[in-house]
Amino acid sequence: MTPKQRARPRVHAETVVRMERAAGALGTAAIAAMDARLPWYRKMSAEHRSWLGLVAQAGIAAFLDWLRHPERNRPAVTEVFGTAPRELARAVSLQHAVEMVRVIIDAVEAQVDELAAPGEEAELREAVLTYAREIAFSTAQVYARTAEARGAWDARLEALVVDSLVHGETGDSMHSWAAALNWSSSPVVVVVGTIGDEDAALSAGASGSAGASGRRTGAEPLMEELRAQARRARLDLLAGVQGNRLILVLGGTDDPIAAAERFAGRFGPGPVIAGPLVRDLKVASVSARAALAALRAAPAWPDAPRPTGADELLPERALDGDPDARAALISDVYEPLLSGGNALLDTLTTYLEQGSSLEATARLLFVHPNTVRYRLRRVAELTEYTPSAGRDGFTLWVALALGRLAAKHEPRGA
């Protein structure tokens, strides 16, 4: 393109002069048209309406600047939106922004006959249409960049919330981050498992080039699938990948296992654990701690269902050194048995030691088998564990051992 072609004016010089003189009136007309034609604009706060008024005036000013400088291929659209604060993009959707641009352009186009130099109306109208096209595309680009930045920021906040729950940090910062993500769902359950081989490869490849943030980028396709699945299930979701672990925080379900089943297929091989249901995100670290402890202890129960609840692995967790599991077995199993009397404890211990044989237990205790049956039913009533069921019997046995050890180590006079 030659200098002469670059300097070729878009409109007649007299048209530019007329446009400059009418700039204030055009801005006023555009704001009046927005108030008349856009119901959402009328419902906005006075502060937001004021900012949008400045955007409208900046749009007209950018149009005049573009007319004055024919060497510029594109209008300086960044000046239009640069006048408004970033938070305005949240208050005005892309659809509303496009409607606003259309109203502003219409306000200018409606006065083409008065603004153009005599005989130059078609020239000005063509310039208006060209500018409208460019500013529409640029509006979409501005919102796309804002959405991308917002998405990256949300991903960081999401990772921080998940990290905080995993480490038991439930201070004000974590609650502020969750509020920024518009999280308000309850109750809450944390589901954990391993990440799939393919997703792990993507994550590892990204981490090799971009560090910790790269790991999130590498796993982003998985995260998008999980979010889509959560939307279909009408559940809120926060997700994170830590090493080879995939951690999901689900809100809005009252059935942890059913919720975990919806996502089990997106985990890698091995156990999938649903923590206990908690009332809200403030205490979700309890669910996360139980789920992660159960995941560590799960190899001790190879035939566990997938998914399974963290409380189903209480004996394995206790044997693995989980203090919460030990405390639960003592308080919820051993102490109720202890309150039932020594005969109940002796019967249960003998029954378990004799391989769940009623007759052998009755002989050793010098009681009738029906007495043993009655006492075992009483055990089930007090603990909700049935001694004759394999897993329940194992849980009862571990609880008895832990309770006796705790009693042995209690300070005298306690």
What is the C-alpha separation between 235 and 258, in angstroms, rounded? 12
Taking the C-alpha atoms of residue 168 and residue 292, their distance in angstroms, rounded to an integer, is 12
Q: List CB contacts of 37: < 8 A, sequence separation 6 or more.
A: 103
The string of pLDDT tens digits covering residues 115-172 is 888 888 888 888 888 777 777 777 666 665 555 545 555 566 666 667 767 777 665 5
Which pLDDT value is given to residue 339? Answer: 92
Q: What is the mean pLDDT of the chain?
A: 80
Residues 327 and 406 sit within 8 Å (Cβ to Cβ): no
The answer to whether 312 touches 275, Cβ cutoff 8 Å, is no
213-217 contacts: CB < 8 A, separation 24 or more?
Answer: 213/156, 215/241, 216/155, 216/159, 216/240, 216/241
> Model pTM greater than 0.75?
no
Which segments of 120-185 does DSSP mark as H helices, in order?
121-166, 172-180
Which long-range contacts (C-beta less than 8 Å, at least 24 apart) are formed by 222-228?
222/195, 222/196, 222/246, 222/266, 223/155, 225/266, 226/263, 226/266
Question: Tell me, what's the pLDDT at 224?
Answer: 81
Rounded to 10 degrees, what is the CA torsion of 112, 113, 119, 122? 40
**Residue 411: predicted pLDDT:** 60
> In terms of C-beta density within 10 A (0-12 exposed, 13-18 middle, 19 or more buried), how is residue 366 classed?
exposed
Query: Is the pLDDT confidence value at 337 over 60?
Result: yes
